[in-house]
Copies of this chain bind each other. A is one copy, B any other.
Amino acid sequence: MSDKPNPDLAIHISLQQQRPIPLDVQLDCQPSELLALVGPSGSGKTTILRAIAGLYQPENGRIICQNEVWQNSVQQFFLPAHRRHVGLVFQNYALFPHMTVLNNIQQALSEIPKQHRHSHALDLLKKVHLEGLDHRYPKTLSGGQQQRVAVARALARNPKVLLLDEPFSAVDQVTRRKLYRELLALRKKLAMPMIIVTHDLEESTLLADRIALLHKGQILQIGTPKSVSAHPVTATVARLMDQQNIFTAQVLDHDLTAKKTRIHWLDRILEASFQPQFKINEKVCWTIQSANVLLHRRDRPSNGDKENPLHGKVIEYMESSGLVNMLVQIDKELNTTIAISVPLHVSKRNGLGLNEIIGISLLSEGIHLMPYQALRR
């Protein structure tokens, strides 16, 4: 750190460890930034939050929050949890069973004057939409209600960093949407870094400024939700981001004027966005988001249909809240399928259904290339 006090309100985290839980992570999170930690179950998300909170001490670690050193394993320094000013929502809530809801929240309000605590706690309860439950004991609450109490308690601390471990997993969608709004409002109001662990990619896209994709204790990619899902750096990232259309191909050439890269896939040639970093003849992986796969409309053919046109049979057809998700079989022998989703009304107008043969186009701008790796499905 420099001599001059530097108003760095961010949190800087760097953790390394081999055993028992492998970790190799470097992260930082700016004040008012909402960073989402995503990754498969068991990838170490909870462990990282615990390390930040001071509940877990990884072998090598350096954590600096708002210019305050919380851990520095080189200097054998480890600030205990209660002096770290974190707000943490536990994955399993960890409410105090012998206290009412209100009391649970007030425990974290020790830093504001006594006479304001009651009303402040009630405010927080309102924020998580639990008015009227203030005198209940945790055991008489449903799972989702408990979880919201835990969120309120974490907020109460007025922490230097807010750590949320799947804070909305037990809350229904409608309430959740309301809580999102509260969280986003809060974030504007309070200048603190927020780190949220979530399994819900939609949640992370809606809430987070950046997401960090974790896998086996390592960060594979950090970026805006949009960039990580549209431009995964590897096929693994694409797979972990729930991308279904991942294939291998070979770079054919780069068209410098049209700003296109052409690739050889199956026995077809596809136009992709211009990605000259891949060499000609290089084997690559490529991916396309299903929203970038266009249906050829039988009712009104369009120009766009000419872009990377393909035909195939619908082998899976699922309706869900006004959308239809389909798997289109492009190559029967290799069982190569492309996932596509269209609005239900479009599907109806075009008479789509199981086993229909349909035409689709892959938007060349949506075709994203990645270094080659063997794919396992």
B174 touches A242 (CB 8 A): yes
Chain B CB within 8 A of A290 CB: yes
Question: In the complex, what distance in Å separates the CA atom of A96 from the CA atom of B165?
Answer: 23
Is A242 in contact with B177, judged by CB distance below 8 angstroms?
Answer: yes
A320 interface contact, C-beta 8 A: yes
A174 and B240 form a contact (CB under 8 A)? yes
Query: Smallest CB–CB gap between A306 and chain B, Å?
Result: 14
Question: B291 and A343: CB pair below 8 A?
Answer: yes
Contact A199 B177 (CB under 8 A): no
Partner of A291 from the list B202, B229, B345, B365 (CB cut-off 8 Å) is B345
In this complex, how many residues of chain A approach chain B with their Cβ under 8 Å: the count is 63
Segment at the B interface, from A58-66, A140-148, A249-257, A328-336: A140-148
B201 near A176 (CB under 8 angstroms)?
Answer: no
For the complex, what is the distance from the CA of A201 to the CA of B242, rounded to whole Å?
A: 18
**Which one, A38-46, A103-111, A156-164, A268-276, is touching chain B?**
A38-46
Q: Which residues of B contact A343 (CB under 8 A)?
A: 291-292
Bound-state Cα–Cα, A38 to B302, Å: 41
Option from B166, B177, B202, B320 in Cβ contact (under 8 Å) with A143: B166
Given the known interface contacts A141-B42, A148-B41, A344-B291, the answer about A166 and B170 at a Cβ–Cβ threshold of 8 Å is yes
Whether B144 pairs with A42 at a CB distance below 8 angstroms is yes
* Interface residue? A260 (CB, 8 A): no
Select one of B41, B141, B226, B321 contacting A175, CB under 8 A. B41
**Do residues B142 and A206 form an inter-chain contact, with CB atoms below 8 A?**
no
Residues of B within 8 A of A193 (CB): none
CA–CA, A42 and B172, complex, Å? 9
Q: Does A97 count as interface, using CB distance less than 8 angstroms?
A: no
Residue among A148, A174, A226 with the most chain B CB within 10 A?
A: A174
The interface residues of chain B lying within 8 Å CB-to-CB of A322 are 229-230, 289-292
Given contacts A170-B166, A172-B199, A291-B343, contact A142 B205 (CB under 8 A): no
User: How far apart are A375's CB and chain B's nearest CB, in angstroms?
Assistant: 14
Copies of this protein, total: 2
CB proximity of A251 to chain B, nearest CB, Å? 23
Is there an interface contact between A321 and B174, defined as CB atoms closer than 8 Å?
Answer: no
Tell me which residues across on chain B come within 8 A of A140, comparing CB atoms. Answer: 20
User: How does the 8 Å CB contact mask read for A270-311 relative to B, with 1 for contact and 0 for none?
Assistant: 000000000000000000011110100000101000000000
By a CB distance below 8 angstroms, the chain B residues around A327 are none
Residues on B with C-beta less than 8 A from A366 are 345
The verdict on A225 contacting chain B, using a C-beta distance below 8 Å, is: yes
CA distance A242 to B180 in the complex (A): 14
- State A142–B42 Cα separation when bound (angstroms): 5
Q: Are A40 and B320 in contact (CB under 8 A)?
A: no
Bound complex: CA of A148 vs CA of B42, how far in Å?
11
A202-B320 CB under 8 A given contacts A46-B142, A170-B169, A365-B345: yes
| Interchain residue pairs with CB less than 8 A apart (14) | A20-B140, A40-B172, A41-B175, A43-B142, A166-B170, A170-B199, A173-B200, A173-B242, A177-B242, A201-B321, A229-B321, A291-B322, A294-B345, A300-B300
Given contact pairs A46-B143, A226-B319, enumerate 9 new A-B contacts (beta carbons under 8 Å).
A40-B144, A41-B142, A41-B145, A41-B148, A41-B172, A44-B142, A202-B320, A206-B318, A345-B366
